[in-house]
Structure 1
Amino acid sequence: MVALLTLAVIGLGVWLIAVQIGLGRVQRRLGAALRELEGLKRAGQTPRTEPEEAEGIASTAAAEAEVAPRKTARELLDPAITPPEPARDGEPRRKLPWEEGYIPETETGGAIPDGPREPGAGEKVVAWLQANWFYAVSALSLALAGLFLVQYGIEQGYLTPTMRVAAALALGAALIGGGEWIRRRQTDATAYLPDTFSAAGIVSLYGGVLAARALYGLIGPGVAMSGLVAVSVGAMVLGWLNGPVLAAFGLIGAGAAPFLVGGDADSATLFYVYYGCLGIVGLAIDAWRQWRWVSVLALGVAGAGGLACFAASAEMPGFAVLLTVLVLAAMAFPRREIGPTHEGGAPLRWLFDRSAGKGGFDVLIAWGAMLAACVVLLALPRAGAAELLLIEGLFTVLILAVALWAWQARALSELALFPALGFLAVIPLESFLGGVLMRDTMRPDATGVPMPALPLEASIVLVMAAHGTVAAAWRSLVATRGGALGREALFWGLFAALFAPLVPLGLELFWLSPRVPGTFGWAGHVLALASLMVAIAVRFARADGGPGRRTAWAVLSASGLIALALFVILTKSALTVALAVLLVVAAALDRRFRLREMQLFIALGVIVLGWRVVIDPGLVWSVQASWGAFFLGFGAALAGMAAAWRLLPEENRLLGRAFLESGLLMIGGIFVTATLWRFIDERVGGDGLASHWTMGLSAMVWLFCAAAQVYRMRLGGRLKWLRITLASLYVLVAGLFLLVGLTISNPFVSEGGYSLPDTTIHGPLVLDSLAVAYLGPALVLLLLARVGAGRWRYAAWVPAGALAAFWVFLEIRRFWQPGTVWVGVGWLDGELYTYTVVLIALGAALLWQAIATGSTPLRRAALVVIGVAVVKVFLIDARGLTGLFRVFSFLALGLSLAALAWLNRWAAQEAAERRSGEEGPEQSGEGDEPPG
């Protein structure tokens, strides 16, 4: 009962929607007619005039008509021919028809009034229910009476399964026949009864055929399929003849029929076929009648029915195939074409260019069906390898359908993005969800030794991706026949260059790792795909009459695949060498064929080399590897980037050059850092990972990375904020290492011991581990200030100066106290006096540099340093020094301050005279002497 009442309510709602649409169409036509009649009526009411006045007006108009040439309609509407009338004083100018805000007027001067106001949607529904509710209730009661009669026979045992099926079929035929009989004698009072009876009959016929096969086994699959097709054809014919209400009732009733009849079924395959036929029938009905909403209803009912069957049976393959069939039907049926030829705008294109338009209904329904199907296919559970391959295969079918079958439909080109993204997304989802292909790829051989294994499923997925790329390349070539290289050809060329190469990358990252070097089988797969991309690049070059953008994209893909194959089979040092060689090859290709897109490969290559130097295998490998492997890896990387920078053309290559220069800066600095690390580690020995010099070297590595990002900020663009974020993150990591080096690992504040890091200072004075720990990061910060600009420059100067000053302090302390620099051992008079002298000398040097460069910030810095020296002498030296050291300290301070005061005054006068001379006599006063 609940199911039947639900069906009745849904059907009644669809019926009301259809009636509302029809009434709205009639109301609009009636309103337009009324407005036209009102305008004609007002135009005919000319003002009355006296006979003599009317005769004079007529003669004047005739004379003017003989003199002035008659203007055509185009001339009257052309602003270049008929200029607008000037506005009268105090009144706005009357606007012409081609101007915005124009209001038509009648000959009497008044605006044409609007027609009667159209009633709203709610008013239409209420008005229809008030007049026709008893017809719908009557038809529903008759349908329920027939169903209850059959149900009563079943409950009492009067009807056998054969009789039940026959009763359902007879009831359906009777309802359809009654509806057609009423239609032939239709009056205004029975306008809606034929559609209701015929729709109920179609529901009964669907239910009877389905019950005979799925519930009682009275007929075989072939007969059941024939019956369903026959009923579907009958519903299509009735919908064609009688209107959308009948088609909507048939679709909804047929969708609910499997759940109304009840019972159990061994397999949901027949139901998936059933809902596929139902969706195709609904689309076919609307293909000729163009009711539009019937197509949406058909796809919705078929998809919802298939989803319900899948939820009840958990049979995924049939449901996945059903979704694919519905997408293909949505692409072809709305335009009544075997091969789609959609033209015009598209939703994705409209997001970037509003003038292109969203496309018509046939475009929108294809986009909607494709998007919904791809989302559901991606979300379907995959319990085995066969189901996973089925999903990837269906995504491939959809890509091929858009690229090959719909090759004339330009508005559907971007549809290939949805199945392509779904195809690629399945790979990481299998990894994150622990799919069937995440089994161990290291299988033991007969002796128990692990051997790298390649799953067959990975090979099949790669072959599917290759088919998609080949189809996209063919579509790109077809788009350029007989014309220039347009947007469509570039889109498909880029699709071909990206789709298949991204698949092995995803497989390597998420499926086939970890592995041991030497997996030649998988590397062979990747190299075969690289050969395919080379062939595509050659074909693009021939089609374009030389290497162009599409050729460059294909070459980029081939280079990336070669690099991936090298990742698979080579060791760490050999892989770095191979990547460096690829950078040189990319620069040489750009120089030879002017392929600007090779800059992207160069940028990615520099990023990968930086990743290998810092993260994987990283600085730890650089310290532990042999000197030969160490120099081979770093030397190849630096030499490759230098050679690529030399070969890269200079014009319009800012991206490639900036990445190569920043890469040389970063990797070169890390090379120096790693060399120092290895040199000290070999001579010190032991565990020095938490010492002050290891903290300084670690900070230098991340500061070099930050300097590379700051250097690339000159490129600007959308990635500017990403580079700012990365540079800030690298500086933060370096700051954490420096914080450890200045606190618990600092030999000045930490004595060291069994539970503390090693604070022993190694090396001779000045060239010791203190210089590595504090002077090294200070120099890298100065480099960061040099390559940066604005806030980065000022932000790097302060910590650089602080670290350099701290290093000078520690070196002076080590000179006077060679055993240890720990604060707990006290202070010596000579040490304190040396600090004073150094501060004064530093202030004098800064002041002299400020005078030489005319820099006000340097003058202020010099005054700050001198002020610190004064404070130290009066607060520390006066109490800590004794004897002649105290005398010489104050004597040196007094003489130095006197000399510096004279130097500062002289510098100020020189600056004033220089500014006066630059202003000239017009500003400083002609004939006046400069101030003495």
Structure 2
Amino acid sequence: MSRRRAKLVPMIGSLLLLVACAAAFGFLLLQARIAQLERSVQAMAEELARLHDRTQPTPIPRPAAATARAVPAPPPVPEPALRSEPESLQDAPLEPRTRFALPRLSFESLVGGRLPIWIGGVALVLAGFFLVRYSIEQGLLGPAARTTIAALFGVALVAASEAVRRLPATRDDPRLGQALAGAGIASLYGTLYMAAALYHLVAPLSAFVLVVLVTLAAMALSLRHGPPTAVMALAGGFLAPLVAGFDAAGIGPLLVYLGLFVAALFGLAVHRGWGWLAFAASFAGLAWAQFLIAVLGGSGNLSSVGGFTMLLAGGASAALPAAGIRSRWLRLAPLLAGLLQLVVIAPGLEFGALAWSFYLVLAAAALALAWRDAAYLPGALASLVLLLALEGLALLAPAAGPTPLAALVATLLFGGTGQWLARRSRDWLLMALLGTGGPLLVAHLFAPALLPGWGWGLLEAAAAAACARLAAPLRTEAEGRALIAITLATALLGTVALAQFVPDQWVALPLAAALLLLGVWARQNRVPALFALPVLPLVAALVAAAPQLFGLIGLVFETTSGTRIAYPLLPPLADLLRTLGLPILAAIALLADPRQFGAARRLTAPLAAGLGLMLLYALAKQPLAIATPERFLAWGFVERALITQACLAAGWALARAGRLPSLGLALLLLGLGRIVLFDGLMVNPVFVAQWSGPLPLVHFALAAFWCWTLPHPRWRIAAALLTLAAAFAAVRQWTHGPILTGPIGSFENGGYSAALLGVALAWLVRGITAARHDLRIAGLVLLTCTTFKVFLIDAAALDGLLRILSFLGLGVALIAIGWAYSRFLARPAVAPLADHGSP
């Protein structure tokens, strides 16, 4: 103890000096404010006197002859006009007294009229200090005599403060009494510190009692001298335990003293209307509590500190408005600080019954204050949020203890009160929702072993029903924020409740049900914001299906990077359908309503469509199950062609019907992209061995048909290229059989020329008969390219009679084509036939 006290000595001395300086500065500010008010009153008095002088009648001058007469003049009679205000004053209305501008504090008024008094008070304190110091240096007085002189000096200053209040010459200036009383109180505090901490003339407990008596005297003097003396009482009362050693008599008596002292300060603040004093007292008391929490650690005295914190925070919340504080956040600050301190204390109390009792009692006080005054509602909501955090921490502890019972009490306390007052305001509605479901969900999350699954499900279903009943009076309101909050709370509780009655691997089922029900609820209420809510269970379902989703994404990456055998990379089909199939199917069903998903529809629609296509792709890979090179050789092209044709046919059907144009365009582009990427580049059957038979011709011809018959002409370029691919495939298959790999022979090369010539002639004929300019141009271009091919490539590989016959046939064909086309161009223009889109 002596070592601790020795360490505290310089700290206490510094604190006392700091308090004295702060008190002096506070006195100066208070006196400056009083001076402003005095000057304002003086200016008002001068203005009234000036107005009074201007309204007095002016004496009428008389001639000199009249003044020589002995007959006295009759008294002047005031004119009627003089009984009213002058015209200039009537035109300028006077402002009320309360609107007179306060004069600014000048350097002269501060230095000449305010500072000397308070500097004099500080000088008196310093004079006593230097007097004692001089006696020490000279060896004139011993410690006891020095302490006695200092005490007598402080008492003399206090007596002098009372004397100046009564002397006729000084009683009109209250600052003199305030300065002397403040200096006397500061001297007495310093004397007691010197006697107890420096000279050890007084036992710690006796010094503590004397400091308490000085504090009581300071509070009594503050009733006479005003706020400056109250500041000294506040500082001295809270520093008094440090003089004696805060644990000299035990933590219990210290807390009793602090409680009584804070209560006395609250009474003084309420009596005088000093809200600042009540605020400072509450936070000084909470600072002492925090200091004790840090010092005591996990000792048994924490329960006493918790009780002190609970009483202090609750009392401060009631005392601050009574003392005149109107700011909501200032009134809430002690309550929130007390709740945080109780959360900090709870682990030290092992989350036991005392810890929960302290917190729940203070939370109930916050609810009671909020019920009486809506300004405390944020504090009550904050107490609920902190309670949920405290519950989570307690359930993570090795032993739950009374935490489950406390969670039940919290649900009844917050949820019941919120349900009762939900119609009063939206904050009470939020209290009802959080209080009804919050403690239950936290308990389920951190301690699922407390109840079986069906037990949790029943409780959460009951909580969902309690939240849903709050929506009945709100369904006709235009403003839907409350309805959105109720919907979210009910959906969350209902989804979690339903999940307790299904196996863990079927978690997507309650999420899909929630998605559909939210969409139906939005359609029934027609509140625009409700339509965005189904995106939440969809996102939750995607998060729950993350392994399968990453498997599909990896499959797409591997496939597009050159992997030929993708089937082994697929996640199990049952897992895909169970985790992704249900929510994606529900999302696609809701997308039929253009209002569903709200502003998130632009992202949700392509996401759902893309995932749906990936699921269909996984389904399409199942029948053939190409998992080996042999299976790929036999069925690779067949499977690829069927998947591509399915995409093209679905896109073509949607485009022709004019429904879901974005999805139709995506399917068409997907099908064409597969042809280019797989059939043209990565696994082209010309270079990669795979059985194809007549399928390439059918595959490309059917793809060309889809594009030729689309309504928009932009697809005709793709249709023309696919037609050429079908012609090449026919020649290749005719010359090579079912396996298309191998070199190009001269017979095959001629077949390509003949096929190109036939396609060019078909386009020209169709262009002429259907008056299709684009087909005629395409036919002419292809004919020109075929001609150059024959002359530059085909003829170089022929000799003798074959070369002669080749050129002869080509010449005759070109002449016939030229003659027929010139006859067509010479005909008069006629109206074109209806274009049905086919080549």
What's the TM-score once normalised by structure 2's chain length?
A: 0.61
C-alpha deviation, 1:844, in angstroms: 9.7
Is the 8 Å Cα contact of residues 317 and 387 (structure 1) preserved in structure 2? no
Gap change, CA 1:35 and 1:218, over 3 Å in 2: closer
Match of 2:427 among 478, 491, 494: 491
Aligned to 1:802: 673
Aligned to 1:334: 320
Gap change, CA 1:619 and 1:565, over 3 Å in 2: farther
Aligned to 2:23: 14
Q: Distance in 1 between matches of 2:49 and 2:764?
A: 105
C-alpha deviation, 1:324, in angstroms: 3.8
Q: Flag the structure with higher helix content.
A: 2
Aligned to 2:684: 813
The answer to whether structure 1 residue 312 and structure 2 residue 295 are counterparts is: yes
Aligned to 1:366: 331
Is the 8 Å Cα contact of residues 369 and 376 (structure 2) preserved in structure 1? no
The answer to whether structure 1 residue 467 and structure 2 residue 418 are counterparts is: no
The one-letter code sitting in structure 1 at the alignment partner of 2:269 is D
Gap change, CA 1:44 and 1:389, over 3 Å in 2: same
Aligned to 1:437: 396
Match of 1:247 among 208, 211, 230: 230
Is the 8 Å Cα contact of residues 651 and 665 (structure 2) preserved in structure 1? no
Q: Deviations over 1:512-546 (max 9, x none)?
A: 47x7xxx7447535633653564576699699999
Q: Deviations over 1:414-434 (max 9, x none)?
A: 222222222233466x4xxxx
Alignment of 1:343-362 (within 5 A): 361-362=326-327
Q: Deviations over 1:53-81 (max 9, x none)?
A: xxxxxxxxx9xxxxxxxxxxxxxxxxxxx
The answer to whether structure 1 residue 284 and structure 2 residue 155 are counterparts is: no
C-alpha deviation, 1:813, in angstroms: 2.6
Q: Distance in 2 between matches of 1:373 and 1:781?
A: 69
Is the 8 Å Cα contact of residues 399 and 419 (structure 1) preserved in structure 2? yes
Aligned to 2:560: none
C-alpha deviation, 1:634, in angstroms: 7.3
SS in 2 for 1:761: helix
Gap change, CA 1:44 and 1:506, over 3 Å in 2: same
Is the 8 Å Cα contact of residues 195 and 242 (structure 1) preserved in structure 2? no
Aligned to 1:884: 750
Q: Which moved more, 1:569-578 or 1:654-663?
A: 654-663
Aligned to 2:496: 564
C-alpha deviation, 1:279, in angstroms: 3.8
SS in 1 for 2:689: coil
SS in 2 for 1:386: coil
Match of 1:256 among 221, 239, 243: 239
Q: Distance in 1 between matches of 2:587 and 2:46?
A: 81
Q: Distance in 2 between matches of 1:664 and 1:595?
A: 24
C-alpha deviation, 1:118, in angstroms: 0.8
Gap change, CA 1:33 and 1:475, over 3 Å in 2: farther
Q: Distance in 1 between matches of 2:830 and 2:188?
A: 112
Unmatched runs of 5 consecutive residues or more in structure 2: 1-9, 61-79, 81-87, 553-568, 727-742, 777-828, 833-839
Q: Which moved more, 1:326-335 or 1:881-890?
A: 881-890
Match of 1:418 among 382, 389, 401: 382
Aligned to 2:789: none
SS in 2 for 1:361: coil
Gap change, CA 1:326 and 1:263, over 3 Å in 2: closer
Match of 1:196 among 169, 175, 183: 183
Is the 8 Å Cα contact of residues 383 and 436 (structure 1) preserved in structure 2? no
SS in 2 for 1:299: helix
Q: Deviations over 1:273-314 (max 9, x none)?
A: 444444443333222323333233223322333333333333
Is the 8 Å Cα contact of residues 353 and 402 (structure 2) preserved in structure 1? yes
Q: Distance in 2 between matches of 1:111 and 1:319?
A: 59
Q: Distance in 2 between matches of 1:782 and 1:256?
A: 87
Q: Distance in 2 between matches of 1:109 and 1:619?
A: 86
The answer to whether structure 1 residue 34 and structure 2 residue 43 are counterparts is: yes
Q: Distance in 2 between matches of 1:467 and 1:532?
A: 11
The answer to whether structure 1 residue 505 and structure 2 residue 441 are counterparts is: yes
Q: Distance in 1 between matches of 2:54 and 2:725?
A: 101
C-alpha deviation, 1:411, in angstroms: 1.9
CA RMSD of aligned residues (A): 6.7
What's the TM-score once normalised by structure 1's chain length?
A: 0.56
Q: Distance in 2 between matches of 1:542 and 1:367?
A: 31
Q: Which moved more, 1:249-258 or 1:16-25?
A: 16-25
Task: Give aligned-pair identity as a percent.
Answer: 15
Match of 2:32 among 15, 23, 33: 23
Q: Distance in 1 between matches of 2:754 and 2:215?
A: 113
The answer to whether structure 1 residue 403 and structure 2 residue 386 are counterparts is: no
Q: Distance in 2 between matches of 1:562 and 1:579?
A: 10
Q: Distance in 1 between matches of 2:494 and 2:233?
A: 57
Q: Distance in 2 between matches of 1:367 and 1:574?
A: 46
Q: Distance in 2 between matches of 1:373 and 1:456?
A: 23
Query: Which protein shows a greater Rg?
Result: 2
Gap change, CA 1:931 and 1:528, over 3 Å in 2: closer
Q: Distance in 1 between matches of 2:671 and 2:107?
A: 74
Match of 1:137 among 113, 117, 123: 123
C-alpha deviation, 1:863, in angstroms: 9.7
Q: Distance in 2 between matches of 1:531 and 1:123?
A: 72
Q: How many residues align?
A: 691
Q: Distance in 2 between matches of 1:866 and 1:39?
A: 107
Is the 8 Å Cα contact of residues 589 and 595 (structure 1) preserved in structure 2? no
Unmatched runs of 5 consecutive residues or more in structure 1: 52-61, 63-104, 343-359, 440-453, 478-484, 687-757, 822-829, 870-878, 910-928
